[in-house]
Amino acid sequence: MATPPDAAVLYPDVAAHGSLATALQAEAEGCLGAVPVTSPGSAPLLHATVAGTLPHREPLRICAWSHERRWSVRGAEQFQGMPLVNGRTDDLAEVARAVRAWHDGAALEDIRRAAPSVRLTGRFDVSDHDPARLTESEWQGMRQEASEPEYAW
């Protein structure tokens, strides 16, 4: 198995900023403003998270791929950790738009419009953790997944 290239080689623009969080702020050209994007100390070039304003959503997670220049985003609901949105792109500006929309508590469809590479899982926000609505959301996600052509994640 080949060793992945150094993150600084795949992401020289991110390395120049010192972290993915800082690179996202720069890429957004001020549009993220005071949005609290953070990167962990252990892999700052490869990971970032942004908390949202909706308490029933987990922070959006952004991960840089290790074998090619591409980012994945994942936004999940807080109660079960089930994904509401997933996406992958080689466009850091699109990631920044998804970050802003997630942080601002945008509707899932609006996040998709802001960042077209984001895929809606079919699940929907259930802010009150109502068991019946959580079950309905999960079933809707399963139905959507079953109806789509194979989707490689």
40-77 per-position pLDDT tens digit: 999 999 999 999 999 999 999 999 999 999 999 999 99
Residue 133 lies in a domain: yes
Cα distance between residue 35 and residue 71, in whole Å = 19
150 versus 17: which is more confidently predicted?
17
Residue 140 lies in a domain: yes
Residue 20's φ and ψ, nearest 5 degrees, are -65, -35
* pLDDT for the residue 111: 96
Residue 84 lies in a domain: yes
Tokens of 117: 């590479």
Total structural domains within the chain = 1
Residue 75 lies in a domain: yes
Tokens of 113: 């419009």
Q: Which residues neighbour 100 within 8 Å (Cβ) at sequence distance 6 or greater?
A: 28, 31, 32, 35, 114
Q: Is there a contact between 109 and 137 (Cβ–Cβ < 8 Å)? A: no
**What predicted TM-score, i.e. pTM, was given to this entire model?**
0.85
The boundaries of the domain holding residue 126 are: 7-147
Cα distance between residue 142 and residue 28, in whole Å = 34
93-138 per-position pLDDT tens digit: 999 999 999 999 999 999 999 999 999 888 877 778 788 877 887 7
Residue 1 lies in a domain: no
Residue 25 lies in a domain: yes
